[in-house]
Copies of this chain bind each other. A is one copy, B any other.
Amino acid sequence: MSLRQAARQEIAMTDIDRLSSRFALHDLVSEYCLAVDERELDRFLAIWWENAVWDIEFVDTFVGYEGIRRAVRDVIWPMWQSTAHYCANLRVNFDGPYKASGISSVYCIGNLADGQAANAVGNYYDDFERRGGVWKIVQRRVNQRFFTPLAGISLTPAGNA
């Protein structure tokens, strides 16, 4: 790449491309929540690169689509009857036009397998990569701060009210 090309690319990253990329990264973070809650496996896998690493504190480290598939199918979805993930406070840092890192805060509430409500409080530490023009997650480290069963509470389907 010529210096002129490099300069042009850097300029691109500093305005429209950076703004569009910000939204693209935010979309990945949102899609994680929506797809895991709605238990849509293909949609969930689509946010990760095929060599992605998903490191969940106090649980395990899952590698690649095989590992990620195992994490949701064999660990998260059986453990929870239902989940609602809310992700906030996303901060992004770009490391050139092809790499970025992010940090965000997650609140999750749901019913465990036995119907008892619980909430989880944590942070996501993400590494994103852009390959062929597309941003996806290449590594997500989940910092699990709190995991708290909510004694005496079970989330109730609204239709039963």
CA distance in complex: A103, B37 (Å)? 13
CA distance in complex: A158, B58 (Å)? 7
A138-158, CB under 8 A of B: which get 1 and which 0?
Answer: 000000111111111111111
Does the CB pair A105–B89 fall under 8 Å?
Answer: no
Copies in the complex: 3
CA distance in complex: A86, B33 (Å)? 15
Q: Chain A contact residues (Cβ within 8 angstroms of B): what range? A: 35 or more
A160 smallest CB distance to B (angstroms):
8
A161 CB-CB contact with B under 8 Å: yes
A27 CB-CB contact with B under 8 Å: yes
A120 CB-CB contact with B under 8 Å: yes
Q: Which residues of B contact A150 (CB under 8 A)?
A: 153
A135 smallest CB distance to B (angstroms):
14
Residue of B nearest to A56 (CB): B158
A136 CB-CB contact with B under 8 Å: no
- Among A31, A86, A89, max chain B CB count under 10 A is at A89
A87 CB-CB contact with B under 8 Å: yes
Q: Report which of B34, B105, B151, B159 forms a contact with A105, defined as CB distance below 8 A.
A: B34
A109 CB-CB contact with B under 8 Å: yes
Does the CB pair B84–A145 fall under 8 Å?
Answer: yes
Does the CB pair B105–A85 fall under 8 Å?
Answer: yes
CA distance in complex: A29, B29 (Å)? 18
Q: Which residues of B contact A159 (CB under 8 A)?
A: 57-58, 144
The 5 A-B pairs of least Cβ separation, nearest first, read A144-B158, A30-B89, A146-B155, A147-B158, A86-B88
